[in-house]
Amino acid sequence: MSAPSHNVDHAHGDHAHDDHGGAPHGSRRSYLTGFALSVVLTAIPFGLVMGGWIANVQVVIGICMALALVQIVVHMIYFLHMNSKSESGWTLMALIFTIIIVVIALAGTLWVMFHMNLNMMPGMEMSGSM
């Protein structure tokens, strides 16, 4: 006789894991919350850029970068289910690593774009007539 299996999934009943390594899935409410936050975090920068409500370009860029970072964290929490408790904290380390890489990429991109504009040769201004 064999021992009864405790991993039996009774039509997705009481167990909080699946056959993919035991990772918990989010509820419909958490997915909708993540989706709503993603839409809002996309709509705000779009409105700022297209509406022209803030005249200072550097402030708009700063706000867009901050909201982009927040959106990455929202995606990692609500859609990738990363937190400090799962997988003995390794997902938190992945989150921190991702944030560091994104900050380096965004800062480097803005630095290169600013210096390319600053170091353009005289007489090479962008004009509408070609």
Give residue 23's pLDDT.
54
Give residue 44's pLDDT.
95
Give residue 24's pLDDT.
60
Give residue 96's pLDDT.
83
Give residue 35's pLDDT.
95
Give residue 13's pLDDT.
46
Give residue 43's pLDDT.
96
pTM over 0.85: no
Give residue 127's pLDDT.
59
Residue 92, phi then psi, degrees to nearest 5: -65, -40
Q: Which two tokens mark 46?
A: 């779009």
Separation in Å, CA 45 to CA 75, 76, 78, 96: 17, 20, 21, 24
Q: Which segments in the chain show pLDDT lower than 50? A: 8-20
Q: How many CA atoms lie within 13 A of 117 on its CB side?
A: 6
